[in-house]
Amino acid sequence: MAGRKMSSILALSYAILFLSAIPYNSMGSQKVQVSLYYETLCPYCANFIVNNLVKIFQNGLISAVDLRLVPWGNAWINSDGSVVCQHGEDECLLNTIEACTISVYPDVYSHFRFIHCVERLTLENKHTEWTKCFQMTNLGTQPIDCYNSGYGNVIEDRYAQETAKLNPAHRFVPWVVVNNQPIQEDYQNFMAYICKAYRGSPKPEACRSLSFEIESMKKLNSMPEERGRVEIRVVVWFRAEGRGQFSRKVEVGVGVRFRDGSQSQVLQLGSKSDFEVGSGFRMVRIGYWAGVEVGFWDAGWVSRSGYRTEFGV
């Protein structure tokens, strides 16, 4: 009896969380296109979905967004047609279940609350209890029928092709694309990119509280026009990448970064230096940085994600 009562409370919580965010008026073609390329058992993807992406449903910013979720990530297809997932067979199963859920329940409020539930269980190391999410979100079990019929594999094939055609190619997951532009390592700041990309008027209420972040992002992404200007920066960063066997490396170093007025190429020379090089130099950055790397080496390319914070004077 207590278990049923708790399930009812959780189901009501999900309903309140997501249904209360449904806007009265659609913003139609003015919406910002946001795509998330991810895999279901990746802890970084799960954390992003549960603790970051959910915020646009809570603050109403979803009303300005056309959100697409693509559960494929770093999986690959062997020559015999079999699918290999980075985190094993359970991930292949859940990738397909979430793909089926998106297909069966195309309304973003419906399928996102189910995916949010599954990814929350992933963070709690309880992903094998994923079937509970149907009851907790008041959704039917048709996605299981979709999976058993084999149609889920058809959907996953489409997602595999879409992911493979990304330009530039994804380098890690979660991989967030805003209006066809990947925001790469800055994915945790995705709401600021949405607000910057939104062309409607007035701006969504949620964007007002993000104005400082947007201005900071503009400054970081801008190219100074003054030749010979020198900036001193302290850069603290965390990165996780790799392929199977666990490893960790802590580095502290000094680097010189050159940035031109167009797109720069980033090079890392040695373990203690960080160089950003381009032609027609317009700026020199001299800075300090510290980092922690965590790697997992597996049969194929694995994910990398993290954040970078800079403090300049």
Does 39 have pLDDT greater than 80? yes
Does 26 have pLDDT greater than 60? no
Structure confidence at residue 201 as a pLDDT band (50, 70, 90): confident
Domains along the chain with CATH numbers: 2-214 (3.40.30.10), 229-312 (no CATH)
Q: Give pLDDT, residue 277.
A: 35
pLDDT digit string, tens, across residues 110-160? 999 999 999 999 999 999 999 999 999 999 999 999 999 999 999 999 999
Q: Give pLDDT, residue 267.
A: 33
Does 293 have pLDDT greater than 70? no
Does 213 have pLDDT greater than 90? no
CA-CA distance, 34 to 196, in Å (whole number)?
Answer: 13
CB-side neighbour CA atoms (13 Å) of 208: 7
Does 163 have pLDDT greater than 70? yes
Structure confidence at residue 305 as a pLDDT band (50, 70, 90): very low
Residue 264 phi/psi, 5-degree rounding, is: -100, 160
Nearest by Cα to 60 from 207, 168, 187: 207
Tokens coding 194: 């949405």
* Pairing between β-strand 281-295 and β-strand 229-240 as defined by DSSP bridges: parallel
Q: What percentage of the chain carries pLDDT values higher than 90?
A: 55
Q: Give pLDDT, residue 154.
A: 98
Report which of residues 185 and 305 the model is more confident about. 185
Report which of residues 256 and 130 the model is more confident about. 130
Which contacts qualify for 254-258: CB closer than 8 Å, 24 or more apart? 254/287, 254/288, 254/289, 255/287, 255/289, 256/284, 256/285, 256/286, 257/284, 257/285, 257/286, 257/287, 258/283, 258/284, 258/285
Q: Give pLDDT, residue 181.
A: 97
DSSP type of residue 7: H
Tokens coding 188: 């945790």
pLDDT digit string, tens, across residues 54-101? 999 999 999 999 999 999 999 999 999 999 999 999 999 999 999 999
Q: What percentage of the chain carries pLDDT values higher than 70?
A: 58
Estimate the crossing angle of helix 2-19 against helix 108-123, to 10 degrees.
130
Q: Give pLDDT, residue 223.
A: 34
pLDDT digit string, tens, across residues 221-253? 443 333 333 334 344 444 343 334 443 434 444
Give how far the C-alpha of residue 252 lies from the chain's centroid of Cα atoms, to the nearest Å: 27
CA-CA distance, 25 to 35, in Å (whole number)?
Answer: 22
SS3 (DSSP) at 229:
strand
CA-CA distance, 285 to 267, in Å (whole number)?
Answer: 14
Q: How confident is the model over 202-213, as a mean pLDDT?
A: 77
Does 284 have pLDDT greater than 60? no
Does 274 have pLDDT greater than 90? no
Strand-pairing partners, residue 260, are 281
Q: Is the Cβ–Cβ distance between 307 and 185 less than 8 Å?
A: yes
CA-CA distance, 116 to 15, in Å (whole number)?
Answer: 12
